[in-house]
Chains A and B, each alone.
Chain A
Amino acid sequence: AIQLTQSPSSLSASVGDRVTITCRASQGISSALAWYQQKPGKAPKLLIYDASSLESGVPSRFSGSGSGTDFTLTISSLQPEDFATYYCQQFNSYPHAFGGGTKVEIK
C-alpha cells in the first residue's frame, strides 16, 4: 500500500505569510493527489485535485504542485480563515490513503 508522509505535522504562521506544506508518497503516483482543508468539527473541504487543479470556488492563494512522489501545497498569503488542518490524499491505487495532516496555527 502507498503511504503518504506530510511535513511538517504542525506549523505556526502569521497572517500574510507564505506557507508551504509537503506530501511525499512512498512510490510514484503520477498526479493522482488531492489536498483538503478541515476546520474543527467540520467535514473536510476539497482544495486541489490532480496535484495542481484548483477546485471551483477555492481562493487563488491556494496552489498545488508536484508529480511522482513529491507534492506541495502553497498558501501564498495566509488569511485568518486559513487556520485549519490540511490533508493530502492519493488516488492512484487502493487503498486511497491520506497523509497524517498538517495543522496550521496562528503565531
Chain B
Amino acid sequence: QVQLVESGGGVVQPGGSLRLSCAASGFTFSSYGMHWVRQAPGKGLEWVAFIRYDGSNKYYADSVKGRFTISRDNSKNTLYLQMNSLRAEDTAVYYCAKSPGGHIDYWGQGTLVTVSS
C-alpha cells in the first residue's frame, strides 16, 4: 500500500532554515510527480510546490518562491523541501502528496513546522 512519511519538522527561529523529507513506499516513486501542501493552524490548505517524476520541472507558490526548493532522490524514494528564510507565516503542517496526473491521490500524515523566536 502507498505510504508517505514526512519528517524534519520542528521549531525554528525566523530567518532560519529547515529541510523536510518524505519517504515514499508502496509504489514506483520515480514514475510520479509529487507535491508539498501546507496547512496553517486552523486554516485551509495551501499548495506549496510540485516536482515532476524525473525532477525536470518544478513549480512554486508565489508565497515561497525564492525561499523554498523542492527536490527528489529517486534512488532513495525520497522527496525533499528545503526551506530557507523562514517566516512566522510559514508555520504549518506540511504534507507531501503523490500525483498520478494533476490531482493528488495520496497524502502523508504531515509534519509540523513552527517558526517562532
Chain A, residue nearest B45 (CB): A98
Mostly, the B contact residues are strand
Docked-complex contact B110 and A89, CB < 8 angstroms: no
Docked-complex contact B110 and A49, CB < 8 angstroms: no
Cα distance A60–B50 in the bound complex, in angstroms: 30
Cα distance A44–B108 in the bound complex, in angstroms: 9
Docked-complex contact A95 and B44, CB < 8 angstroms: no
Q: Chain A, interface size: which category?
A: 20 to 34
Chain B, residue nearest A97 (CB): B47
Known contacts A94-B50, A98-B44, A101-B44; A43 and B107 CB within 8 A of each other: yes
Check: A82 CB closer than 8 A to any chain B CB. no
Q: Identify which of residues 24-60 in chain B touch chain A, using a CB-to-CB cut-off of 8 Å.
A: 35, 37, 44-47, 50, 59-60
Q: Which residues of A contact B (CB under 8 A)?
A: 1, 32, 34, 36, 38, 43-46, 49-50, 55, 87, 89, 91, 94-101
**Which 7 residue pairs spanning A and B have beta carbons closest together?**
A91-B102, A34-B103, A43-B107, A94-B59, A49-B103, A98-B45, A101-B44
